[in-house]
Amino acid sequence: MLSAEAPLVDTTLIDHSSNPVVIETETTTDTATSSLIEEVTLTIIAHPYLDELADKIRQEPIPWQGYERAGMLSADEVAMIEHVENKSPEEITNIMSEHGLYYAGMYLDLMHKLARVDAVQKVLVMIQDMLNEHNERIMLFHQASINRPGYPFGPFHNSSKKPDIDIDDFFQWMTFQLQSRNSNLIELNIQILDALFHIPSYRKSFWNTLHAMDTFINVLKKSNSNPQVIYETVFALWLLTFDEEIATHLNRKYDVISTLVEIAKSAVKEKIIRVVVATFKNLVEKAPKANLSAMLVAKLLPFAEHLSTRKWSDQEIMDDIHLIIRELQNNFQSLTTFEVYASELETGKLEWSPPHQSENFWKKNAIRLNENNHRLLKMLARLLSSSNQFEILAIACHDLGQYAKYSGSDGKKYLHELGAKQRVMELMTHEDPEVRYHALSATQKYFAMSS
């Protein structure tokens, strides 16, 4: 099991960089705990992309003497800056050991006074170099802020365009970053999401940001070549599923359950399976009604039973697997055949399961496709245009034919209004013989109903 207060990456398994960025996050309200991952209040974001940016900033010259002539910096401040510029980590360590408190105070003043982006970036890199592998020096910034209202955080807020970050604007910006062709940039943004999603209110903000979830899920479905990106992305998804509303609507909107099953099936590293199983556990516990049927359709039960036969280093993984198996078995026994069929439609993953081929099923349930303003009938009709899988097209044609046969006189009207009749007739010339056969059969049933 994982902890919602855990670090964003499994730091025992990966070390991206020697110069991590530290994001401090507030305590979450989630109660999940873990014996494997310690609860922490700091989240480490480390990535080679950040290292490259920091190196470029270090090499960019800043006209500090010009700031002194303009009266923005004192001669002492310029001298202190030049004393640490282009110094090795060992030299910086020696300087900070003796003068760290003075540098902390000066850096805060520089953040407060400077406005140009290049100068602010330079100061931020200096602060990073000061803190690198010496987190205890963070206290120097607090000591330097005594009797100074708004310090130490105010200067950092003032360096941005607004006094504080608007998280909604930030998530809108991140939505575009997740569409980048630069894989390093995408991974970095996923790491940032892992940090921010420790805060419950930020999960809902991201969920409500236009197109944010679409781009995020797209990363999840396209990251199969990089195990670390898979882990970090599923970790972010796991944090999202602590929100009950998100857990309720997540699979219905984005079909994540089948994606997670495939990720777990192909995963080599245990940590990936661990976070996938933890995500399933959240979906089961937070929104069982919305997810259990879809899990059965995605064949999670036999896969979970297979996982239960393996040996795991973490007993909590086995406990979670057993919980999932138990809930799925109980749900399977209580589900009606129609509920299983409805789950197939909702996921769009039709297969030749017994309901499709049962005349008795269609006699009893064809009219139920009209419930809730024909919601399920619309889903079935939509598959004729949205799917490119021959088996799904054949099954959809077959089911629409059965609906036409047993839905009564109104069925013809509904099929015509939805454009399903026209699309089925077009599929009579499809390249696949099974699709052609079931399209022809459905057309015959449609016209037999109207005669």
**Under 8 Å CB-to-CB from 33, ≥6 apart: which residues?**
1, 3, 39
The amino acid that residue 376 corresponds to is: L
The amino acid that residue 46 corresponds to is: A
Note the pTM of the prediction, 2 decimals: 0.62
Decide if pLDDT at 25 tops 60: no
Cβ 294 vs Cβ 259: under 8 Å: no
pLDDT of residue 294: 87
pLDDT of residue 260: 96
Taking phi first (over 0 means left), then psi (-120 to 50 degrees means alpha), and beta for anything else, what does residue 184 get? alpha
3-state secondary structure of 263: helix
Band the pLDDT of 28: cuts 50, 70, 90.
very low
How far is residue 357's CA from residue 270's CA, in Å, rounded to a whole number? 40
**Residue 44 forms beta bridges with which residues?**
22
Q: CB neighbours (10 Å) of residue 114?
A: 21
Cβ 338 vs Cβ 345: under 8 Å: no
Band the pLDDT of 392: cuts 50, 70, 90.
very high
Rounded (10°) angle between helices 270-286 and 244-254: 110
**Under 8 Å CB-to-CB from 135, ≥6 apart: which residues?**
22, 42
How far is residue 26's CA from residue 5's CA, in Å, rounded to a whole number? 9
Q: Which residue has the tokens 């781009």?
A: 215
Which tens digits make up the pLDDT trace of 200-225? 989 999 999 999 999 999 999 887 67
Q: Which residue has the tokens 């797209």?
A: 218
- The mean predicted confidence, pLDDT, of the chain is 85
How far is residue 230's CA from residue 223's CA, in Å, rounded to a whole number? 6
Rounded (10°) angle between helices 200-208 and 167-177: 60
Decide if pLDDT at 78 tops 50: yes
What DSSP designation does 180 have? Answer: -
Band the pLDDT of 306: cuts 50, 70, 90.
very high
pLDDT of residue 79: 94
What domains does the chain contain, in order, with CATH numbers? 53-158 (no CATH), 167-335 (1.25.10.10), 357-450 (1.25.40.150)
DSSP 387-402: ---HHHHHHHHHHHHH
Cis preceding linkage at 152, omega within 30: yes
3-state secondary structure of 44: strand
Dihedral angle, C-alpha 103, 106, 108, 112, nearest 10 °: -160
How far is residue 150's CA from residue 147's CA, in Å, rounded to a whole number? 9
How far is residue 288's CA from residue 213's CA, in Å, rounded to a whole number? 21
Compute and round to an integer the Cα radius of gyration of the chain: 29
DSSP 68-109: HHTTSS-HHHHHHHHHHTT--HHHHHHHHHHHHHHHHHHHHH
Report helix, strand and coil shares of the chain as percent, to nearest 5. Answer: 70, 0, 30
Mean pLDDT, to the nearest integer, of 118-139?
A: 90
The string over 235-263, giving b where at least 16 C-beta atoms fall within 10 Å of a residue's C-beta and e elsewhere, is bbbbbbbbbeebbbebbeebbbbbbbbeb
The amino acid that residue 293 corresponds to is: S
Decide if pLDDT at 165 tops 60: no
pLDDT of residue 183: 87
pLDDT of residue 423: 94
pLDDT of residue 54: 86
Comparing C-alpha atoms, which of 184, 172, 250 is closest to residue 212? 172
Q: How many CA atoms lie within 13 A of 391 on its CB side?
A: 7
How far is residue 243's CA from residue 93's CA, in Å, rounded to a whole number? 44
Decide if pLDDT at 324 tops 80: yes
Decide if pLDDT at 30 tops 80: no
